Structure formats: structure tokens, C-alpha cells
Amino acid sequence: MTQNPQGQMHENMHTGPVPPQMNHGGHELFDVHEVLSSAVAGLNQYTLLRPHVQDQELLTMMDRQFHFMQEEYNITAECFKTGMDPSKPTQKYMMKQDNDFIYGLKPSQPKKPIQSSAELTDEIISGFMLGVHKSGAALKTMAALETSNPVVRRVLADSVPNCIEMGYEVSIYQNKHHYYQVPQLAQQDTMAIVNSYAPSNIQPGTMPN
């Protein structure tokens, strides 16, 4: 006897109050699962790479970011499991670097994959760190847009700026050491693009029909 998928769907629909731990949609479950799995992978990368760090400044940054990421992971996992407010609020990461970028390109050796862990450098390690934060920002943004549980959605949304801040901190470190170079357009081209937009002056209530 074949089952009626449509009838089965109606049987599974909730019409009354949903328990907090079940207050999750299907897309939410898969996307938050992806966020948490990625967070575990990021923490694992930090742990594996830490013994290979040479620069004390990078090591201090790595440890500070690791402990922040670990706390944020625990908060996210807790509210995802309970569907309720976590025992600690989401914190705001504050980077220690200044925000001065060095612009322009200098000649450098072409990059290529390493052949053993003995070739790991601070440049490579900081590149891994930046990748962790870029991936986290993208995954958490997509998950927040698919999340129906209000607490989990807010925790994810509050976490995105922290990924951006930590990634920015790493990129400034890389730039200072010429690992990450930032090209600029000519001043005339830069100003042409910067000035290519004008403010909108449509007043409320005056939208055309």
C-alpha cells in the first residue's frame, strides 16, 4: 500500500503551540547544523595550526579569537538544542589591531601548495584563519535568513559582525606583513566610481502610483 505524501504532510503539521526544543523548521535544522559543523572545523584548525605559529603577535590573536569562537559556538549550540535564550548573551568581538591598510602591490614569489606541514608559515596560517571567518560569516548569514526560531535567528545574526571583525583583524595583520596586498585604482578612476551615486530625495508618502 502506497502512502499519500500530501496526507502525511498534513498529519505532521503543528496547529498548536510548539515546544521550544521543536521550534525549528527543516531548512533551519540543516543550515544551523552546517554552521555548527563549520564552527567545529574552524576551532579544530586553530588547534592544529597553533603549534606551528612563529610570530607572538599572531599567536596572541589566535588564542584570543579561539576563546571567543569557542564561547560563541557553545552559545549557538545551547540555544539550538533548547530553542530558548542561552545562559550567556552573545558578546561583541573587539579587535586589537588598528585599521590602517597599506595600499599597492610589491613583487612577491608566486604561491603554490605546500608539500608537508614543515612548510607551514605564519602567512599560510593566517590565511587559514581568514578563511574560517569568511566561511562563518557567509554560513551564519544564510542560516539566519532560513531560521524560524527567534532566539537562534538572533544569535546567528549577532554572530555575523563578529566573524567580519575577526576576519578584518586577520586581514590587517596579513597586510602589515605584506602577506595580503591591496591594489588601488588610479585616483581619477577611484573618485569617478566613488562619486557615481547621488542621494535619493523621495519623501515618505510621495511614491508615484
pTM here?
A: 0.85
What is the residue extent of each domain of the chain?
23-105+120-194
Residue 110: phi and psi, rounded to 5, are: -60, 145
**CATH code that applies to domain 23-105+120-194:** 1.20.1260.10
How do residues 40-52 score in pLDDT, each as one tens digit?
999 999 999 999 9
For 175-195, b/e burial (b = at least 16 CB within 10 A) is: beeebbeeeeeeeeeeeeeee
Confidence label for 204 from pLDDT (cuts 50, 70 and 90):
confident
Confidence label for 120 from pLDDT (cuts 50, 70 and 90):
very high
pLDDT (0 to 100) of residue 20: 61
Residue 32 has pLDDT above 60, yes or no: yes
Q: Give the DSSP per-residue string, the chain.
A: ----HHHHHHHH---SPPPGGG---HHHHHHHHHHHHHHHHHHHHHHHHGGG---HHHHHHHHHHHHHHHHHHHHHHHHHHHSS--SSPPP-----S--PPPBB----PPP---SSGGG--HHHHHHHHHHHHHHHHHHHHHHHHH--SHHHHHHHHHHHHHHHHHHHHHHHHHHHTTSS-B----HHHHHHHHTS-----PPTT----
> What's the rounded Cα separation, in Å, for the pair 32 and 16?
24
Residue 206 has pLDDT above 60, yes or no: yes
Residue 25's nearest CA partner among 149, 191, 153, 109 is 149
